[in-house]
Amino acid sequence: MDYLLKEIAVFVRIIELGSFRAAAEDLNLTQSALTQRLKKLEEAVGVRLIERTTRTVAPTVVGGSFLPVAKRMLVQFEQSMEDLNTLIRARTGQVTIASLISVATYVLPGALKRFTAAHPNVSVRIFDDPELEIAGRIRRGEAEFGIDMETADQDPDVEVTPLLEDRYVLVFHPDYPGVPSGAVAWADLAELPLVTYGARSGTNRLMHERLAGLPRTGKWRYEVQHLSTLLGLVRAGLGVGIVPTLAMAGQEEGALLQRPLVAPDMRRTIVLVQRRGAELSPAAEILKAFTLAEFERFGDTG
């Protein structure tokens, strides 16, 4: 049958509005064009679908039976077009995310490799940010989702999904003197020169929260803003550092040694964050799934 959905849409709208004139105005057609489309549909099916008198417009018996079928056809077509557009958007365009630097360095590459293999025409912009900036980017809509560190004062406009527990460890050059063997208590750091984080670091804030009330746990010799700088100074033998275990994933074997920190054991919770109530784009939803799968592969540390 050689007819189009727009003819079916004309039939449905005439019945719904009970008027050729109202249907023509609603569909932005002339009454003549509207009548021609209905005629084309009736010729295609071989029966009259609408009875029209000077005072009423009503479906015929066949038209009344066809009406719910016609409505379903229109809904299904609209849904099919939405699905097609979703598929196209998932395969093209750009996704913007925000991430902790350690996660962007050691976890995201695996997820991005698999995502790009499946969707080579989608570009990904990554804000590799300090902990305190990620939730703000999500709240302002600058990134669709982010990988952050859970905090005590979590932004209420952001939804949080825990991903893994990441234990903090002491790292040092293999030749660095004075580091105890086995697990190291925080109190044992008192005489070790630390390479530590600046005040804006999420790790710095976490240490102040978790270690409140303990004796001073060490004296800092170098203060840095980024994890990569801290690791570089520790590799050079300039001091010892406190880092999440995840940060050791990319270190050359034997370049640095690590010891578990105890009394207390300190961990950060890595979380996925997105704006509360916001819907991700199709491509971002797919990248999120790849990212969650990559975290499953890593599992908790320590």
What pLDDT shows up at residue 273? 95
Residues 14 and 152 both lie in one domain: no
- 63 close to 24: Cβ distance less than 8 angstroms: no
Which uninterrupted H or E stretch holds 120? none
Looking at the fold, whether 85 and 100 belong to one and the same domain comes out as no
pLDDT at 1: 44
287 and 152 within one domain: yes
Q: What CA dihedral angle connects 99, 105, 110 and 112, to 10 degrees?
A: 50
Number of domains in the chain: 3
Distances (CA, A) of 127 to 38, 99, 171, 234, 285: 55, 6, 27, 26, 17
Last residue of a domain, one of 89, 114, 138: 89
Query: Residue 190 sits in which domain range?
Result: 166-268
CATH number of the domain bearing residue 20 = 1.10.10.10
Return the closest-CA partner of residue 142 out of 284, 271, 2, 47: 284
What's the Rg (C-alpha) of the chain? 31
In order along its 302 residues, the chain shows pLDDT tens digits of 445 788 999 999 999 999 999 999 999 999 999 999 999 999 888 899 999 887 788 999 998 999 999 999 888 888 877 767 766 666 667 899 999 988 999 899 999 999 999 888 899 999 998 777 898 999 999 999 999 998 867 778 899 999 999 999 999 999 999 898 889 988 888 888 999 888 777 777 777 777 766 665 567 889 998 888 999 999 999 999 999 998 888 777 788 999 999 988 889 999 999 999 888 988 899 999 999 999 998 876 66
CATH number at residue 279: 3.40.190.10
> Would you say the pTM of this structure is higher than 0.75?
no
Q: Show which of 89, 111, 145 is a domain's final residue.
A: 89
Together in a domain, 110 and 224: no
Please state, in angstroms and rounded to a whole number, the distance separating the CA atoms of residues 302 and 267. 9
Quick one: pLDDT at residue 2? 45
**Nearest-angstrom CA–CA distance, 23 and 27:** 6
Contacts of 151 (CB under 8 A, 6+ apart): 131, 202, 205, 206
**Residue 237: what pLDDT?**
95
Three-class secondary structure of residue 255 per DSSP: coil
Neighbours of 44 (CB within 10 A): 14
